[in-house]
A and B are shown apart, each in its own frame.
Chain A
Amino acid sequence: MSIAIRIKDLEWKYENTTEFALRGVNLEIEEGSFLGIVGANEHGKTSLVMAINGLIPQSYNGIYRGDVQVFGKSVRETDAVELASQVGLVFADPEAQFTAMTVEEELVFGLENLGLGLAEIRERLEWAAEVTMISELLDKSPYDVSGGQKQRVAIACVLAMNPPIIIMDEPTSMIDPLGKGLIFDILRKLKEAGDHTLIVIEHNVERLVPLADQMLLMWQGNIAKLAPTRQFFEDPSFLIERGVLTPEVSEFAEWLRLEGYLEEGTPLPLNLEDGVEITRQVLEARRARA
């Protein structure tokens, strides 16, 4: 597997602030992997992803040290069109990213920027609308649809441009549970297709965990922990001290272990199915003993 993103000693300070938002980040992300990013507010998650898509430093002023490379090319030396064709970024606030009058125009805008022809634009438009389930909305104003639909439109805009790297910054923060589910369905489809490197910032670890290959914890402008998903949650107190909630079933299993019902060294469950399975084993062991 080759490396899609390589970050070396990245430091970044926004102008008019006193503290560095990023403090010596080093990170390599493999092509085709799914990275989940967690961390408390204001610890640099958004800044990190903006450094990957080039918004930092191209659209912001500040102090920049170190280097970010996307497919071996430094983002500082890559222009907006080329970057947009390589890294797609979905922002947390879907409304903030709309620039057009109808959903269709919104989708088409990026494709026209890439310099595609009419036939290809149509094809990609239809594909992206279908994957994100917004085909019905094409004729509407992006402002006149529900919050969940807005975010799916925003995702469709990025998908249509088909960048090999897709980043989503808290894509479900403004959406109801059902809408959240739909967004994660899209993510699952993308992961199964395996064509993209996916990076998702998300507070809702329960939903992120089943998809992520690796998890990353941002803390005070740096990476506090980076590990394959299962290992990442092995030391819950480390995460909790840094403001990250572990999945509730892990906490439940941790409690079982502390109470002595679960053998030391049993891997903690990360999703409900595993949790049920572990609980079943515990109960059966007790029944057998009785």
Chain B
Amino acid sequence: MIATATTGVNAAPARVPKARKTLLGHVPIESPLYQFHPVTRLIMFIFFGVIPLFIYLPEVNFLLLWVNMGIMRWGRVNINELRKYMPVIFTVAFFMFIVVVLAPGEDPSYTPLDVGPITIYYQPVFFAFAAYWRLIAMLFGTILYFSTNRERDMLVAMRSLRLPFIASYVVGLSIRSAGMFLEDFRTIREAEQARGLDTKAMRLRDQVKLYMMYLVPLFSIALRRADEISNALFARGYTLTGRVGGGGKRADYIRAQYKLRTRDWVLIVSMGLIFVATAIVQMRFGVFSIEYSPLNIYLKQLLGIPG
């Protein structure tokens, strides 16, 4: 330990970056998930995003969340980075519960429970609890997608699904513009801070005022950017109609680098089957309805609530 620490120059191994920056965060440089075609990954995103809509059981949604986490782990996502979503997760929980406690709605079937000085109603609280896990399951599906897919993967997927070039191009440009917007925002902030402005010491009201003031330069920068982008497009021979030189078909070089393989089809078909099965089972038989929740049943027994 002593020997290596003092050798200085040679001691530190070359730092190999593990993650690549994207607009919304980072994606791992290498991941077993990348063996799947971007389309498969997009379908997986839709799968995990939509399936909680059919599932009211908080237990199952909780499980889904862990499945998502498991895939992220396997996909070499830096789990520590998920901490930045903690505020969202807690804020949503906080607001949902505040709402059901303060405004539970009126229903004769509700069971009042006295918790210290306030009265809460069991049914809306449990319903909010279940809804919350649905939301969180969807959120984790989204996090999984954006921590393992770059903007480029998204565009390749869209184009593979035969969306017209212009559609995916507009999406791409919007993402880019959003990125530039954030970048410009940072620049303006840094400029203000360099001139001695300390936002941390400010009251919230003044901070809000300050952000409003940022809007003016940001807006004029955005206008200029729009001009610059349209110039750039023109200079590269882009026409909004998507017409290409020679009048032929547009080649898609990036997409051509990806191929749908057997494993993609296997995954897509399985996800499709699970999805259809879940939807049918829920819509016909209500298997994932809230009354079947073991936690719900247990709590009702505990509190002596009938039904």
Contacts and interface: CB of A to CB of B under 8 A. Distances in A.
Interface string B227-259: 011111111111100011111111111101000
A157 B236 contact: yes
Interface string A156-183: 0110010000000000000000000000
A115 B248 contact: yes
Given A101-B152, A112-B253, A117-B251, A85 B245 contact: yes
A140 B17 CA distance: 12
B253 A80 contact: no
B192 interface: no
A227 interface: no
B157 to A, nearest CB: 13
B176 interface: yes
B263 interface: no
A231 interface: no
B179 interface: yes
B175 interface: yes
Nearest to B236: A110
Given A88-B235, A99-B233, A115 B250 contact: yes
Given A81-B239, A114-B244, A98 B251 contact: no
Interface string B3-25: 00000000000000000111000
B245 A121 contact: no
Interface in A163-221: none
Contacts of A125: 253
A58 interface: yes
Contacts of B20: 140
Given A101-B150, A101-B175, A143-B183, A111 B228 contact: no
Contacts of A89: 235
Interface in A101-125: 101-102, 104-105, 108-118, 121-122, 125
Contacts of A84: 234-238
A81 B234 contact: no
Interface string B195-228: 0000000000000000000000000000001001
Nearest to B233: A99
Interface string A37-72: 000000000000000011100110000000000000
Contacts, number: 121
B151 interface: yes
A58 B234 contact: yes
B75 interface: no
Contact of B235 (A93, A97, A116, A117): A97
Contacts of B231: 55, 59, 91, 96-97
Contact of A104 (B21, B176, B237, B254): B254
B71 to A, nearest CB: 23
A113 B252 CA distance: 10
B247 A115 contact: yes
Which residue, of B22, B152, B243, B245, has the highest number of chain A Cβ atoms within 10 A?
B245
A109 B150 CA distance: 18
B173 interface: yes
Contacts of A99: 172-173, 176, 229, 232-233, 236
Contacts of B180: 95
Given A98-B232, A118-B256, A80 B225 contact: no
A112 B244 contact: yes
A116 B234 contact: no
Contacts of A104: 254
B155 interface: yes
Nearest to A116: B251
A111 B236 CA distance: 8
Interface in B55-103: none
Contacts of B244: 81, 112-115
A83 interface: yes
A100 interface: yes
A79 B244 CA distance: 11
A109 B225 contact: no
B125 to A, nearest CB: 44
Contact of A81 (B155, B176, B243): B243
Contacts of A140: 20
Nearest to A83: B237
A279 interface: no
5 contacts: A80-B238, A84-B237, A112-B253, A114-B245, A116-B245
- Which 6 pairs across A and B sit closest by C-beta, in order of nearness? A84-B237, A115-B244, A96-B228, A110-B236, A115-B246, A115-B245
Interface of B: 20-22, 150-152, 155, 172-173, 175-176, 179-180, 183, 225, 228-239, 243-254, 256
